Structure 1
Amino acid sequence: MEYEIRGGAFPMVICTLQKGETMKNETGAMAFMTSDMEMDTNTDGGLLKGLGRALSGDTLFFNFFTAQSDNQQIGFSSCTPGKIMAIKLDGTNTIIGQKNAFLAAEKSVDIDIHIRTRLGAGIFGGEGFILQKFSNTGIVFLEIDGEVIEHDLQPGEKLLVDPGHIAAMEESVDFDIERVKGAKNIMFGEGLFFARIQGPGKVWIQTMPISRLAESLIPYLPKPDSK
């Protein structure tokens, strides 16, 4: 499979498949495909696995697209302004992504829910304690809100991040939530909680979570008629 990402702030990944190669995606992300692609829809592992993915914000069913001849193309588009990030999995690197991060992947990629077991991350995680886990082998495409900044954390190195800005991280990265210290900071600062992430491993930070974008647009939306 070969791919190209186009479109700037409203991106699309265009995948070129040879005969027998298969891509899978969440329902609704496919933008176009050439005529010799065959589509099949199923839960990719059974109903229970599909229900688990639905809890993480994904769809119950996946669409599978298989090339029936060489050089067939299919395009998957992001549903929000931002980036499409391609990550190659080799069987040793597992990626944890935010809810709704998954866009598309090669058939061999395993997609599961990832539950944070710590109380702090579970209750106060902002974006929720149920995340997505991508493992096995193949290329997975993730949707990133806004631009993306990559940090390669060394062992023991820490970052404090607004929870909504964490797009993805390697499974080796430790993640928990800690409360902001100081009454003035809580009342007039950035909020009640920070995400504390600690290396080793890579973390990808997104510049404009879709929730923040929605909040910024509210003042400009038409007001309901008060009559």
Structure 2
Amino acid sequence: MAATFTLIGTIEPFLHCNLKKGDSIYCEANAMVMMETNLELKGKLQGGIMQSLMRRFANDESLFQQEIEAVHGEGDCLLAPTLDGDMQILDIGANQYTLSDGAFVAASRSVDIRANIQRNLGGAVFGDTGGFVVMQTEGTGQVVVSGFGSLFEIDVEPGKDVVIDNGHVVCWDSRLQYNLSVSTSKKKGFMSNIINSVTSGEGMVLKFSGKGKVVICSRNRDSYQGWLQSVLGSNSGGRGGGGGLLDQIM
């Protein structure tokens, strides 16, 4: 029987995993919170050195991911993502997913998270989805993703395209077609769209079409980090020393 994932708690939950002897999972670096002594934790170049380097380029991840294996018998572990927010367990098999930067938390041993060259050059140049390289699932099992804030699932249907702010996208069904632009307007030219994006604060948006699911989060990580830095930076101004308060505590 394969390892099973369960979410525990309603606000910023733990990810609980039960492993039978001989089973293993892998997860993002520093995700492990607690594990029983029947389990062993080690670093692993998941998918080999080239895939690890591409994930490092795409997601700014550590070269070594954590692997948790039930070596001495059945055991439980608790995992948590780096940023505040919710998690969602995705079934992988008939549906495969593309993951945004920082979305990956953990996966079954039978699922591979591979770095692939992005087919959408617009997303490669402007996007927050790994630049020219994106993370895509392969295999059968479960993958756990996280997002900043609460998560919500959107069903995209043929003829009902959906436009989502780029910073709120966690992952999407790989069967969906997507295009990235700097505006939701269909009538304006490229420069007009850029000016409108700057003046309205609209930012980059992803337009999804076809049939499949998109998981979104309620908070924009980059916007929050920018706001936090501006607030802490202004509060620490004029005190002297090397940089703002944020630089000292990060």
TM-score, normalised to structure 1, is 0.90
Secondary structure, aligned partner of 2:162:
strand
Q: Is the 8 A contact 2:165 2:203 kept in 1?
A: no
Amino acid of the structure 2 residue aligned with 1:205 = I
Is 1:215 the counterpart of 2:226? The answer is: yes
1:225 to 228, 238, 241: 238
Which residue number corresponds to residue 135 of structure 1? 138
Question: Relative to structure 2, which stretch is displaced further, 134-143 or 37-46?
Answer: 37-46
Secondary structure, aligned partner of 2:175:
coil
Which residue number corresponds to residue 179 of structure 1? 182
Structure 1 CA distance, aligned partners of 2:30 and 2:141?
22
Instruction: Summarize the Cα distance change of 1:17–1:159 in structure 2 as closer, same or farther, 3 Å threshold.
Output: same
Is 1:11 the counterpart of 2:13? The answer is: yes
Which residue number corresponds to residue 157 of structure 1? 160
Q: Is the 8 A contact 2:12 2:87 kept in 1?
A: no
Which residue number corresponds to residue 205 of structure 1? 216
Amino acid of the structure 2 residue aligned with 1:23 = I
Which residue number corresponds to residue 194 of structure 1? 205
1:123 to 114, 122, 125: 125
Q: Percent identity?
A: 23
Task: Give the alignment of 1:40-51 within 5 angstroms.
Answer: 40-51=42-53
Secondary structure, aligned partner of 1:56:
helix
Is 1:78 the counterpart of 2:89? The answer is: no
Is 1:88 the counterpart of 2:101? The answer is: no
1:106 to 105, 108, 127: 108
Secondary structure, aligned partner of 1:133:
strand
Amino acid of the structure 2 residue aligned with 1:20 = G
Instruction: Summarize the Cα distance change of 1:203–1:226 in structure 2 as closer, same or farther, 3 Å threshold.
Output: same
Q: Is the 8 A contact 1:26 1:102 kept in 2?
A: yes
Structure 1 CA distance, aligned partners of 2:138 and 2:95?
7
Give deviations 1:43-87, integer Å, cap 9, x for gaps. Answer: 122211111111121221122211134440111112111111111
CA positional deviation for 1:174 = 0.8
Gaps of 5+ in 1: none
Gaps of 5+ in 2: 241-250
Which residue number corresponds to residue 245 of structure 2? none
Question: Relative to structure 2, which stretch is displaced further, 146-155 or 124-133?
Answer: 124-133
Question: Relative to structure 2, which stretch is displaced further, 10-19 or 166-175?
Answer: 10-19
Give deviations 1:74-111, integer Å, cap 9, x for gaps. Answer: 11112111111111112x21110101111111111101
How many residues align structurally?
A: 226
Aligned Cα root-mean-square deviation (Å): 2.0
Amino acid of the structure 1 residue aligned with 2:124 = G
Instruction: Summarize the Cα distance change of 1:74–1:123 in structure 2 as closer, same or farther, 3 Å threshold.
Output: same
Instruction: Summarize the Cα distance change of 1:225–1:165 in structure 2 as closer, same or farther, 3 Å threshold.
Output: same
Amino acid of the structure 2 residue aligned with 1:199 = G
Q: Is the 8 A contact 2:26 2:106 kept in 1?
A: yes
Q: Is the 8 A contact 1:93 1:135 kept in 2?
A: no
1:67 to 62, 65, 70: 70
Question: Relative to structure 2, which stretch is displaced further, 135-144 or 179-188?
Answer: 179-188
Instruction: Summarize the Cα distance change of 1:39–1:115 in structure 2 as closer, same or farther, 3 Å threshold.
Output: same
